[in-house]
Amino acid sequence: MRTDFLLRNVQTTNQPGVIDIAIRDGLIVDMRHGIRCDAVEEDFDGRFAFAGFADSHVHLDKACILERCTICEGTLEEAVRETAKAKSRFTEEDVFERASSVVRQAIMHGTNRMRTFVEIDPRAGMRSFEAIKRVRERYAYAIDIQICAFAQEGLTQEPETEAMLDEALRTGADLVGGCPYTDPRPEEHVRRIFDLARKHDVDVDFHLDFSLNPAKTDLPAVIAATKANAYGGRVTIGHVTNLSALAPEDRSAVARQIAEAGIALVVLPATDLFLMGRGQTTNIPRGITPAHLLSADGVRTAVATNNVLNPFTPFGDASLGRMANLYANVMQLSRDDDIDQVFALVSSRAASIMGVDHQLRIGGPADIVILDADDPRHAVRSSAPAIAGWKAGRRTFVRPKPIIFDPA
């Protein structure tokens, strides 16, 4: 068999035991044990190979701005306020450099799919959008980036924002996003976002119900608009932390409505843990909606990064392996089946929400990441590092395994 190169002795979820993966012209041409060929070989000694992590919700434009902001209260309102002040001073080059640093970290952690929100309004102008388009192009060799033109600070009170979103969708944005809870007219906000989506035939992604009050919700408006516009399968919602405050039977009832409407849901553990429950001093709630339980009710779910080193999340390194471990820990998950599901929340299920069939298969793209783990369970439980990656058959990174110099 003619191949460009061969990955020897890896483990996958495709079949038990170690196998080899043969790559030719950027595609996987064979996957089995004992492939014979004359290609360049690399032996991974039973490490786990998969199609890579997919980050379905991240904010590259406002990452790494902690030194420009003041965090006193640690509330959502403060984070929105401080970020709004900071972004008015963003330059295109500044956004490009900060976003690039996060993308490089993500690549090194094994992420090769990403959906980033970009705030577009009179304060940010189109500067961040232009920068993120450059980032998308610059790192296309290693990662596929979707850009969501996003109205963080409302829409109905600022007509300029709607016109700017329209322009972004004409000039390179892949989808449109809204934030009803920051708008004085949330239902009208939802309607206008859907109007833009239909005009440009793009998907929709909302930040939604970011509180612990189940009675304060814009979810019914999004469900109704999804059905009215026949947009099932094309709408995603992020956060929805108030679902974590519902009794199990009530949460399941809402989850079935979400699933029936064809809406996907992305949970952001780091941000939700940091911002929620600020009004309580004892028995502080986690504030994280249980993606794995909503999945059991038929909702397509994922776990993602959200923010890195800003007032919404003053820590982070763009590692989805770490985020999966955090989610499993906070949700008190330990059973093998549950851990398998957590791994899927940051890989195949997240990619599916982004409209990508993301798996290792013969005839498919040679988008491959090797983790220093035996299998997905080991990867989640140990936050296993990524040690090598390829995109369309091209090597994108390598992380040499540490060596201990034991004098014995």
Give 372-383 pLDDT, tens digit per residue.
Answer: 999 999 999 999
Single-letter amino acid, residue 52 = G
**pLDDT value at 1 more than 60:** no
Output the six-digit token pair for 162: 């709607």
Phi-psi region of 316 (alpha: psi -120 to 50; beta: other; left: phi over 0): left
pLDDT of residue 374: 95
Closest residue by Cα to residue 230 from 185, 187, 261: 261
E-only strand ranges, 310-385: 368-371
Sheet arrangement for strand 40-50: 27-32, 18-24, 5-11, 40-50, 368-371, 386-391, 394-398
User: How much is the average pLDDT of 130-158?
Assistant: 97
Q: Which amino acid is at 261?
A: A
Rounded to 5°, angle at Cα 71 from 157 and 273: 85
Give residue 2's pLDDT: 63
How confident is the model at residue 118, as a pLDDT? 98
Per-residue pLDDT for 179 more than 60?
Answer: yes
CB proximity list for 164: less than 8 A, separation 6 or greater: 120, 121, 122, 125, 126
Least confident of 70-84, 108-122, 177-191, 275-289: 70-84
pLDDT at 88: 87
Helix (H) or strand (E) holding 21: strand 18-24
Question: Whole-model pTM?
Answer: 0.96
Tell me what the mean pLDDT of segment 335-347 comes to: 98
Q: What's the confidence (pLDDT) of residue 400?
A: 85
Residue 235 has pLDDT above 70, yes or no: yes
C-alpha 177/C-alpha 187 separation (Å) is: 14
Query: How high is the pLDDT of residue 74?
Result: 85
Average pLDDT of 272-292?
94
pLDDT of res. 188: 98
Average pLDDT over residues 72-86: 87
Residue 368, helix vs strand vs coil: strand
Question: Which residues, 6 or more positions from 273, have their beta carbon under 8 angstroms from its beta carbon?
Answer: 286, 287, 288, 326, 330
| 23-37 per-position pLDDT tens digit | 999 999 999 999 988
Residue 309 has pLDDT above 70, yes or no: yes
> What is the average pLDDT across 180-192?
97
Contact 212, 276 (CB under 8 A): yes
Q: Does 401 have pLDDT greater than 60?
A: yes
Compute the average pLDDT of residues 282-294: 96
- A 10 A CB-CB count for 278 gives 16
HSE toward the beta carbon, residue 89, CA cutoff 13 A? 7
- Band (pLDDT 50/70/90 cuts) for residue 236 is very high
How much is the average pLDDT of 224-242?
98
Answer yes or no: are the C-beta atoms of 222 and 208 closer than 8 Å: yes
Start-end of H helices in 88-215: 92-108, 127-138, 159-170, 186-200
Report which of residues 312 and 14 the model is more confident about.
312
Token reading at 297: 């009710």
* DSSP one-letter code for 346: T
Q: Length of the chain, please?
A: 408
β-pair partners for 207: 238
Closest CA to 358 of 402, 310, 302, 307: 302
Pairs from 32-37 (Cβ < 8 Å, separation ≥ 24) = 35/1, 35/3, 35/6, 36/1, 37/1, 37/2, 37/3, 37/6
98-108 tens-digit pLDDT: 999 999 999 99
Q: What percent of the chain has pLDDT over 90?
A: 88
Rounded CA separation 192/215 (Å): 23
Predicted local distance difference test score (pLDDT) of residue 402: 86
The predicted pLDDT at position 397 comes to: 97
Q: What is the 3-state secondary structure (H, E, C) of 244-275?
A: HHCCHHHHHHHHHHHHHHCEEEEECHHHHHHH
